[in-house]
Structure 1
Amino acid sequence: MKLSVTTKSIFLNSICLLYILLFVYAAVSKLLDFENFQVQLGQSPLLSAYASEVSYFVPLIELVVALFLAVNRWRFVGLLASLMLMLMFSSYIFIVLHYTSFVPCSCGGILEKMSWNQHLVFNLFFVLLALLALAFYSGLHQSKNRIIKGAPIAGIISISVLSSIGFMIALFLNSEGIIHHENPFIRRYPQHPILLMHQMDLKFNSYYFAGYRKGKIYLGNYTNPLQLLSMDSSLNNRQFDKISFDVKNRFFQRVTIGIRDSFFYLKDGTVPTVFMGSTSNWKLSKELKGIPFFTLAEAIDTANLVFRANNGKEYANVLGLFRSSQVPKVSYNPHLLQRQIDGVFDTDGILLYSEKTKKIVYLYFYRNEFIVADINSKLIYRGHTIDTTTKAKIKVAYLKNQTERTMMAPPLVVNANASICQNLLFVHSKIKGRYENDLLWKQAAIIDVYDLNRNIYLLSFPIYNSGEKKIDSFWVTATHLYAILGNELMVYELKSILKKEINNVRLKER
């Protein structure tokens, strides 16, 4: 049916009015809640690297396009810009839904009430309206408008469509590279990567994680070092195991228990000693003799150990290996830990070992760096957490003729704790990132996740406080995250977004 000039003009004006209302409303909504808008852009898997620029340009462009649509002389430019904007918004949603690792929050205003699929349909509807309006406009004004005079309207629209979609694809690819490899300290918070399933009162706040084996988490107790508490992920089948210990003439000061595979390890670096035994009977059966004094130690297997000692230059921290079957049994790699100030406090950190990938990981407390080494203590690479603290912010005082050292002031803690699960490193960060809510940091601990195989940052998530109790330590398995908050034990289920990243290493190994 052929429409009259009057009907086309009415349709054209109505579409322009709808677009003006949409863009003005969207721009004003963003500006009225600008801080939240920036936070949402910062969490976007597509725009986070450009959140600052986009947060200013998008409302401005929407208002400018609305102005163009209101002026007859510039209406064609306004309609073409409207088409390109809606195509960009639609491409953004399509990429988010199908090609990103997680789906962020919506964009504010009344549109925030829509699901992402509903939002996509809404945008595509306005794309069709823009195409229809352009067709009406070209029929009514082609002979008068110098911009489209002599130029095929189909060609102009085709170029606009391709350039809009291509721009969003290029933006996505570039943003992914920046966030994963050159992160400007912008965290990504996907929706519900973990879900609280169970919690229990441990009665005491002296528990720590000893290890995990065959679906059971094991907790050691600093005040009762020879007793272990174990349970499954549902916090059922609770069991207390007592280690048989009759070693004499040893004056232990700080005994800790670690579990690796079907063996347990009793460690005390002040003696120094490491005993081991089977978890089938909890009896000590072997001592790893010849170990030097150490401050941290992780068993690699029943014959080998990685440890940290103060045997470096000026008693600085150094990482070493103990191999019971070799001569000499002890070897050091003085190049792994890098001194910045004193070699002790500035290199303090957390020692981890991934049995699945056979990697040693050392995470510094006071700077944004971690070390990944193989089981021969050979450096694989130096990775960085996403914050910007490259140098430890500590002050050290020397006492008793330079024989003792202490902190002069409270240090800036960058990484408070960590856990490793196969190829993933989970870090409890203490540094607030860009576009992050102050209230969130008061209510929760922030965990950042890194893929050690690819040396990239993946995502972040909060672990909320339990009243006044904050997280002390945590342990991650392939299916669950366990956290101790004071005297409470929390069990969280890992959702698909995290399980998929853990499963990636399994697929590669096959």
Structure 2
Amino acid sequence: MLIRNTYTKLIGTIILCIGMVVILFLSSERQIHRNNAFTRRFPPHPVTKEFDLDIGYNSYYIAGFDKNYLYLGNQTAPWHMLQVNLGTKDTVHIRLEPRDRKIQYRSLRTSVLPPYFFVMDGTMPFILRGKINEWKADPWMERTAYFNRAIPIDSNRVFIRTINANNQKTTLGIIKKTDSFQVHLDTSLLESQLDGVFDVDGMLVNSENNQTLGYVYYYRNQFITFDSELTGQKKQRTIDTVQYAQLQVALANKKGQIQMKAPPLTINTSAVLSKELMLIQSDRLGRNESREMLDQAIIIDAYNYQKKTYEFSFYLYHIQKHKVREFTLHGNLVIALIDNKVSVYRTLEPYFTNYIPDKAQKITTGR
């Protein structure tokens, strides 16, 4: 009888502990996704769905635009690109060819900036450049600068994120080609809170006219913008209230590699920069927002970085439980990649009226 009571108490204790762990886990999950300190504004229909286009595979990413054409790079087939006519919905498969067929690479990324396209690998490092419609990639930069992110901003300049060899901190810079290569790093742009690497992790963004560049931190409620020479810096807070990165960094292993002890609290997930708007995806729920919405759509918050104001928010909806994995803004369209589909939304006045770049034509989708 005594043994039976002991087993009963032991089982009861185990069940109680498991229950407490589950409750704490669910509570922590709610805290990760919720911040009741801010309230979003959801105006009626700032964007409307135009169409979904099946592109066959979910390995495509947005490489750039040329007027009415969307170009998609491919993660699993790095020398392949897909051209999508946003007006007719016609697609064309493109084979990129390096002049040096023996070139070695680890992680290729293609970017289209008319009249050129760029093929980049910051780990080797090299950048190839070629003309659109010829699709032959010539060496543009070799072994001049390592980088882990890069965005071409004109035919002879590339905006990069790299590790500064002097202090081993994450740094932003510009690779510029004139008669020779110049690499300008600005160590004052990113503000370290912990280690200068993980805590400043974030996204490079640029406006469609490439007059404005930006950086959006993953783990704090802040982004910065500056001109294409990395001057005129402006800082802005998002509507979230987490000002300091909440992460735990482990000690270096035998190989000198440093990793996080636990997943960090992500404030900003992805971002897009237009002429005056910074569009930021956030999975954090504000006051009176339903947790179920994150199973149906992603939330985009729009900020006017010229006025330093929060403007409004809107949803981009998933397709058959497949989540939006990437989005961008082009002219009067919002383009999203969802599984093996391109989703196209039209922006509506007055929310996006002033945010279409001067040289960009309004795009007709032929609906």
Same fold (TM over 0.5): yes
State the one-letter code of the partner of 1:254.
Answer: S
Q: Which residue of 1 aligns with 2:94?
A: 241
Q: Which of 185, 189, 195 is 2:38 aligned to?
A: 185
Q: Within the alignment, does 1:340 sit opposite 2:183 as a pair?
A: no
Label 1:484 to 1:288 Cα distance change in 2 as closer, same or farther (>3 A).
Answer: same
Show the counterpart of 1:277. 130
1:309-345 alpha-carbon deviations (Å, 9 max, x no partner) = 1115542210111111166611110011111112111
Q: Secondary structure at the match of 2:352?
A: helix
| 1:26-65 correspondence to structure 2 within 5 Å | none
1:459 aligns with 2:312: yes
- Residues 362/199 of structure 1: CA separation in 2 closer, same or farther (3 Å cut): same
Question: Could you tell me whether the CA contact under 8 Å between 1:198 and 1:490 is conserved in 2?
Answer: yes
Map of 1:60-139 to 2, 5 A cutoff?
none
Q: Are 1:302 and 2:155 counterparts?
A: yes
Alignment of 1:441-452 (within 5 A): 441-452=294-305
Higher strand proportion? 2
Cα 1:286–1:314 change in 2 (3 A) is closer
| CA–CA separation in structure 2 for the residues paired with 1:202 and 1:412 | 33
Which deviates the most, 286-295 or 485-494?
286-295
Encode CA deviations 1:408-453: one digit per residue, 9 max, x unaligned: 1111111111112222211111211123233323321100111222
Q: Quick check: 1:434 aligned with 2:287?
A: yes
TM-fit CA distance, 1:232? 2.3
CA distance in 2, matches of 1:421, 1:212: 14
- Flag the 1:235–1:225 CA change in 2: closer, same or farther, 3 A: farther
SS in 1 for 2:191: coil
CA distance in 1 between partners of 2:187 and 2:90 (Å)? 45
Q: Tell me the residue number matched to 1:115.
A: none
Q: Distance in 1 between matches of 2:75 and 2:197?
A: 24
Given that 2:295 and 2:321 are in contact with CA atoms closer than 8 Å, whether structure 1 keeps it comes out as: no
Q: Distance in 2 between matches of 1:375 and 1:250?
A: 31
Structure 1's 246 and 202: CA in aligned 2 closer, same or farther, altered over 3 A? same
The structure whose RCO (Cα within 8 Å, separation 6+) is larger is 2
Q: Does the 8 Å CA contact 1:367/1:389 hold for their aligned counterparts? A: yes
Query: How many angstroms apart in 1 are the aligned matches of 2:81 and 2:238?
Result: 33
Residues 110 and 118 in structure 2, CA contact (< 8 A), matched pair in contact too: yes
- 1:474 is the counterpart of 2:338: no
Partner Cα distance (1:501, 1:459) in 2: 14
The normalised TM-score by structure 1 is 0.60
Whole-angstrom CA distance in 2 between matches of 1:402 and 1:242: 38
Shift of 1:355: 4.3
Instruction: Report how many aligned residue pairs link the two structures.
Output: 324
Matched, 1:210 2:63: yes
Q: Displacement of 1:356 after TM fit?
A: 2.0
SS in 2 for 1:481: strand
Unpaired segments ≥5 residues, structure 2 = 1-35, 360-367
Query: Retained in 1: the 8 A contact 2:296–2:321?
Result: no
1:235 is displaced (CA, Å) by 6.0
User: What percent identity do the matched residue pairs reach?
Assistant: 29
Q: Please state whether the residue corresponding to 2:251 is helix, strand or coil.
A: strand
**How far is 1:223 from its partner?**
0.8
Letter in 2 for 1:269: G
Given candidates 183, 191, 216, the residue that maps to 1:330 is 183
**Whole-Å separation in 2 of the counterparts to 1:289 and 1:313:** 21
Q: Which residue does 1:494 correspond to in 2?
A: 347
Decide whether the 8 Å contact of 1:289 with 1:324 is kept in 2.
no
Q: Distance in 2 between the 1:415 and 1:274 partners?
A: 29
Residue by residue over 1:50-81, the C-alpha shift from the partner in whole angstroms, topping out at 9 and shown as x without a partner, is: xx9xxxxxxxxxxxxxxxxxxxxxxxxxxxxx
SS of 2:98's equivalent in the other structure is: coil
Structure 1 unaligned runs (5+)? 1-51, 53-183
Contact 2:302 2:312 in 1 (8 A): yes
Tell me how far apart the structure 2 counterparts of residues 303 and 289 of structure 1 sit (CA, whole Å).
Answer: 14
Correspondences of 1:194-233 after superposition (within 5 Å) = 194-233=47-86
| Cα distance in 2, alignment partners of residues 185 and 263 from structure 1 | 43
Distance 1:355 1:464, change over 3 A: closer
Partner Cα separation in structure 2 for residue 198 and residue 383 of structure 1: 34
Name the structure with the higher helix share.
1
Contact 1:233 1:480 in 2 (8 A): no
Return the index of the structure with the highest Cα Rg. 1
Pick which of 422-431 and 228-237 moved more: 228-237
- 1:291 Cα deviation after fit: 3.1
Alignment partner of 1:365 is 2:365: no
Superposition misfits of 4+ residues, deviation over 4 angstroms: none
Q: SS of 2:321's equivalent? A: coil
Structure 1 distance, partners of 2:78, 2:129, is 14
Task: Determine the C-alpha separation between the residues in 2 that align with 1:200 and 1:218.
Answer: 14
Q: Any idea what SS the aligned residue of 2:269 has?
A: strand
